Amino acid sequence: MKASISTNAETDELTITIHDLNWAQSHQASFYGGEVQVRDLLRLIGQELTAELLRSKEVTAPRLEHEGQIYYRKEATLGHYQTLYGEVVVARHLYQRSAGGETLCPLERQCQLSFGSATPLLAEVVSFTLASQTAGEVEQDLAKCQGLALSDTYLRSLGEQGGQLAVEKAQSWQLSSPVPAAPVATVATGVDGTTLPVVGEAYKEAMGGTIAGYEAEGTRLQTAYLGTMPEAGKATFAARVITRVAQVLARYPTAQQVCLGDGAKWNWDFFATHYPEALWVVDFYHAATPLHTAAELIFGASPAAEAY
């Protein structure tokens, strides 16, 4: 099957024509088979529309200026781009200085192709999905739902690029939390760490934190999540928590501040240094476990159902 597009600027109409399609035959197949064909048709239409968008960003000027240098147009070549609907191939011009060196592709710059061959929407979807699934699971998911054949290695690399971009831009982003439905009476800051196997460096501790707002009756209203990869001294994590907590407390100046952690010494040193006036709480599990052990030593073992 092939698709072609025609537009009418006067009537604001866009016509998509599907060639070599025997739609009547799909009526004779199973309903599931028809659904698969609908999915493939939508992919085909998506590919053609995306290709049209890419071509609309093409630059054909004989030369252009970039960072004070003059670049000259080269012969058009084919660019292969991965989209949410499959690979799209379009002709585009590269530009290069007369002395040679790096080439520029205005089309790719106009389309914000910051992830190699992947379009921004595909990079966004993959990065979002990788937050809850492994690269292998995302590979299977995209193959089943979208009919895409993308390797787990490619998907992992795409997610790493998205993560690096987020790290670089994090300081400039001004992210605001939604206004809670009820007044925030308590702001609770929790910190914790977990050891991760780092290639070539054995196990190291990564940090995670939460900053949650609660109404007077104890219902949680909103939560901000923070985290960092392993780092000696945990300075990056500490700086992020301190900055975000300050923003939240400034927003709710009358709220009671609570700090929550397990028994790790770093947590309590951190709280003592930065939040000495807060209410400190050891989480239930880490508080109850040693008490349970002590109780059994003193009074003997109890049935599991009554242990806590």
Sequence spans of domains, the chain: 186-289
Q: What is the pLDDT of residues 87-132, one digit of tens each?
A: 999 999 999 999 999 999 999 999 999 888 999 999 999 999 998 8
204 pLDDT above the threshold of 80? yes
| pTM as predicted | 0.68
Residue 174 has pLDDT above 80, yes or no: no
Dist CA 214 CA 185 (whole Å): 6
Q: Which of 94, 265, 279 is nearest to 189 (CA)?
A: 279
Letter string b/e over residues 23-58, b meaning 16 or more CB atoms within 10 A of that residue's CB: eeebeeeeeeeeeebeeebebbebbbbbbeebeebb
Model confidence at 288, in pLDDT bands (50, 70, 90)?
Answer: confident
Helices within the chain (DSSP H only): 23-28, 31-56, 106-110, 120-130, 135-145, 152-169, 235-251, 265-274, 284-299
DSSP SS3 for 211: strand
Q: Is pLDDT larger for residue 95 or for residue 263? A: 95
Higher pLDDT, 40 or 114: 40
What does the pLDDT read at residue 26?
A: 82
Mean pLDDT of 267-293: 91
Per-residue confidence (pLDDT) for residue 293, from 0 to 100:
87
Q: Once rounded to an integer, what is the mean pLDDT over residues 3-12?
A: 90
Could you tell me if 129 and 158 are in contact, meaning their C-beta atoms sit under 8 angstroms apart?
Answer: no
Read off the DSSP letter of residue 63. E
The total number of residues written for the chain in this structure: 308
Cβ atoms of 225 and 248 closer than 8 Å: no
Q: What is the pLDDT of residues 133-167, one digit of tens each?
A: 999 999 999 999 888 999 999 999 999 888 888 87
Phi first, then psi: give them for residue 201, nearest 5 degrees.
-135, 15
CB 167 within 8 A of CB 180: no
Identify residue 77 by its one-letter amino acid code.
T
With a cut of 90, say whether residue 283 has pLDDT above it: no
Using pLDDT thresholds of 50, 70 and 90, give the confidence band for residue 198: confident
CA–CA separation, 1 and 172 (whole Å): 46
The arithmetic mean of pLDDT across residues 164-172, rounded, is: 76
pLDDT at 228 over 60: yes
Residue 266, pLDDT above cutoff 90: yes
- pLDDT computed for residue 305 by the predictor: 56
Residues 53-58 have a mean pLDDT of 94
Q: What CATH number does the domain located at 186-289 have?
A: 3.30.420
Q: Is the pLDDT of residue 214 over 80?
A: yes
Question: What 3-state class would DSSP assign to 232?
Answer: helix
The token pair that represents 16 in the structure block: 């998509």
> Residue 303 pLDDT > 90, yes or no?
no
